Structure 1
Amino acid sequence: MKELHTFGWYAAKISPYLPKKAFQPVKSRLFGGMVYLLLTIGGILAVSLLNLHPIWNLLISVMLGFNFASLGFLGHEILHGTVVRKPWLRDALGAMAFWPLCTGPKLWRKWHNVTHHVHTQDEEMDPDAWPSLERLTKSRLLRWVYKIPFPIRAFFAFSSLSVMFTLHSIRMLVYFFKDFRSKNRSVILLQFCLPWATWIGLLLIIGWERWFFAFLLPLFIANFIVMSYISTNHRLNPLVPVNDPLANSLSVTVPKWVDVLHFHFSYHTEHHLFPAMSSKYYPLVKEHIKRMWPERYHEMPMSKALATLWKTPRVYYQQNELIEPRQGHVYGVLGNGLDPDHITYRNVEVVPFSSLEKKPMTMKKAAEKGENNKKDSSS
């Protein structure tokens, strides 16, 4: 692995080349949010009040799902303070944008801004990081999951993208709840319950069939769109001891019109360098990164990134590799031997899963033994 630097180190190198306006809030982003909000309200009203053919309801659902996701991307930007700076207005607008995804602004800022951004790809501190082999041996649930054959597990993993953001948000509420002061806990619960109360209330008013098209199916679609980005942000990158965005993050490429409609959410490395900068200026940041550190920067088409995720496991081995525990197949990660165009693996010796119940730390020892075997074979 190359020498690692903090995001502040990179930002200090690039900042002198950026215009001053790049560090100011961009309130005009709210116009796009207003369009999405009006389309969302109109779509829900159309499904709820009109007796449309199911095909039309399905088309409106797809539009609503796209809107839900795009509003989430805007909410992400708003809650980083890159649209408005006043805290009360930031949180109010962020809550509105995240309303379809049922995530409150206080929880999001604690989970995403304060924890994920500060400890990106730190196995212990980043709540979004995937587990290492050592953590796998300590978790009965993970051991059970990884008994499932890899192809089947990959299929269900991709299918779960349609619900994963919602489920992970609920998990983060439970995970961080105790960290909030007592006076703030009621606010956190209120911000979580109000959106759900709204959507459940809609169900009681319009009935199950229309609610499916007005909210549930759009929520599945939005989850899938949002998680398609989030899954590629870091899951092909190594766990790192230093929060280096050029090592631990991946930017994906999508058609320009998609970039505009999704508020440039694809520029994820750039976002981790300048989280308080509007994504409007990330294409400019990208130009400077590729000029100054072309060999460090990771980017690939979204379709290729998703295909690579499908073909590789999600358990870390020695921090800078990925392992399929059942077979002992070890894959590289970005910057450490992973070639998305030609994915290969090497073998290490692992302990059968049946023995993990009695000796949960055996796999760690087996991993070390496999590493020693690798060294012996190369000497």
Structure 2
Amino acid sequence: MSQFSIPKFPQVGKSLHTDLKNRVQQYFDEKGIKSTGTSKLFTKAAILITLLVAVYIHLLVFTPVWYIALGECIVMGGLVAAIGFNVMHDGSHGSFSTKKGMNRVAASSISLLGANHFMWNMKHNMIHHSFTNVDGVDDDIEIGSLMRMAPTQKRHKLHKFQHIYFVAMYSLLYVFWIFYTDYKKYFSGKIGEIPLKKMAVKDHIEFWAVKIYHAAVFVVIPIIFLGFVNWLIGFSVMSIVAGFILSIVFQLAHVVGDTEFPVANIETNKLPDEFAAHQIKTTANFATRNKVISWLVGGLNFQIEHHLFPKISHVHYPAISEIVRNVCREYKLQYIEYPTMRQAVAEHVRFLRQMGRYD
């Protein structure tokens, strides 16, 4: 391995993170409620998974006319993303339920979508949530030479048009995730420059079991029932929809003009800010007053609250967001928020254009 070294956060006298945790905990104590999911979240999870299974069966068994089938494939792509946001995401952070078994089941819904939980846990929970927007560490902003997502990345001529072709790139996320990047991480033994944790025998078994299951359920069986061409069209539509939704929601939270892309000090290898301040400066919220969007994306439009409190279920983010806002005012930190999703998308496109044209 090269001389790569994971950066560290500086030690500070007055901890913003501690202050935030104390105030948020006080909120839960006063309300007398748990910080995990509620019955509404469990109901939503059941609805989303039931709908996915129902649409899948209807497509295979009843084989509707092509225009209805395409519509159902679009819906299926949205359901894949929604299950990832609402069920798998909270489960993988241990915030879905007070019961560990329920969290494991919710987290395992990623297997239903064909992805590997071991890889996701390290890529998302351990790396992205610790070193958000740190170039060379955060795998979420590493798309190789095809796109420039941070000011510290090298600019190529192709990037001049990335604010246009990003739609196609994002649409490929799901296919690449399932059929390429999981395998790349598995066989290379690392995510970017960071080595994977040692996989136990059960982790290896789970990896291959999930991949075989996904190939059987989403490739082989549909081809048998529908034929290769029909399967290819349907699977492509579903994957494009799922990929774009998954990509855009996460990118709107970090890759915009107001967020920072911190660089560690060369001599000390320490980042400029302590953990909580780092998360606030590298993260943005969007459309937080839109209840429909909040329901569909599993509260990930409250991304600041999620990065500060990943073990708190997203159903509580609207309430604790007021606490976070007040603390940001006291510490003179910008609470980055775009009122609507349209404004957030416009800012993301503007930032991509800027990254593609200027060093």
TM over 0.5, shorter chain: yes
- Map 1:1-379 onto structure 2 (within 5 A): 7-18=17-28, 19-26=31-38, 28-73=40-85, 74-84=87-97, 87=100, 89-100=102-113, 102-130=114-142, 135-136=153-154, 146-148=156-158, 150=160, 152-168=161-177, 170-171=180-181, 173-175=183-185, 178=189, 179=196, 180-181=198-199, 183=201, 184-206=203-225, 207-212=227-232, 214-236=234-256, 237-240=259-262, 241=271, 242=273, 243=275, 244-253=278-287, 255-294=290-329, 296-300=334-338, 301-313=340-352, 323-324=355-356, 329=358
Give the number of the structure with larger relative contact order, counting CA–CA contacts within 8 Å between residues 6 or more apart: 2
Change (3 A) 1:13 1:235: same
Alpha carbons 2:91, 2:103 under 8 Å: kept: yes
Residue ranges of structure 2 left out of the alignment (5+ in a row): 1-11, 143-148, 190-195, 263-270
Alpha carbons 1:47, 1:57 under 8 Å: kept: yes
Please report how far the alpha carbon of residue 279 of structure 1 lies from its aligned counterpart in structure 2 after TM superposition: 0.5
Q: Distance in 2 between matches of 1:192 and 1:51?
A: 26
Moved beyond 4 Å, runs of 4+: 3-9, 85-89, 130-135
Normalized against structure 1, the TM-score is what?
A: 0.72
Normalized against structure 2, the TM-score is what?
A: 0.75
Q: Distance in 1 between matches of 2:186 and 2:43?
A: 33
Alpha carbons 1:91, 1:105 under 8 Å: kept: no
Q: Distance in 2 between matches of 1:305 and 1:5?
A: 30
Alpha carbons 2:70, 2:234 under 8 Å: kept: no
Please report how far the alpha carbon of residue 88 of structure 1 lies from its aligned counterpart in structure 2 after TM superposition: 5.2
Q: Distance in 1 between matches of 2:172 and 2:153?
A: 24
Letter in 2 for 1:63: V
Change (3 A) 1:67 1:133: closer
Deviations 1:275-301 (A, max 9, x none): 001100000111112233245211112
Alpha carbons 1:78, 1:90 under 8 Å: kept: yes
How many equivalent pairs are there? 308
Deviations 1:233-256 (A, max 9, x none): 111221222332210101111631
Please report how far the alpha carbon of residue 82 of structure 1 lies from its aligned counterpart in structure 2 after TM superposition: 1.2
Q: Distance in 1 between matches of 2:124 and 2:18?
A: 18
Alpha carbons 1:27, 1:83 under 8 Å: kept: no
Letter in 2 for 1:198: V
Alpha carbons 1:22, 1:281 under 8 Å: kept: no
Change (3 A) 1:201 1:172: closer
For the residue of structure 2 that corresponds to 1:160, the secondary structure is helix
Deviations 1:117-174 (A, max 9, x none): 12222223222235656552xxxxxx6xx22261x32221122111124424642552
Q: Distance in 1 between matches of 2:183 and 2:17?
A: 27
Please report how far the alpha carbon of residue 111 of structure 1 lies from its aligned counterpart in structure 2 after TM superposition: 1.4
Deviations 1:39-76 (A, max 9, x none): 22221222222342222112222221221111111211
Residue ranges of structure 1 left out of the alignment (5+ in a row): 137-142, 315-321, 331-379
Letter in 2 for 1:105: H
Deviations 1:305-356 (A, max 9, x none): 2112212238xxxxxxx744xx5x35xxxxxxxxxxxxxxxxxxxxxxxxxx
- Please, which moves more after superposition, 275-284 or 164-173? 164-173
- Please, which moves more after superposition, 298-307 or 13-22? 13-22
Please report how far the alpha carbon of residue 112 of structure 1 lies from its aligned counterpart in structure 2 after TM superposition: 1.0
User: Alignment identity in percent?
Assistant: 16
Alpha carbons 2:254, 2:284 under 8 Å: kept: yes
Alpha carbons 2:133, 2:254 under 8 Å: kept: yes
User: What RMSD over aligned residues (CA atoms) do the two structures have, in Å?
Assistant: 2.9
User: Which one has a bigger Cα radius of gyration?
Assistant: 1
Alpha carbons 1:43, 1:214 under 8 Å: kept: no
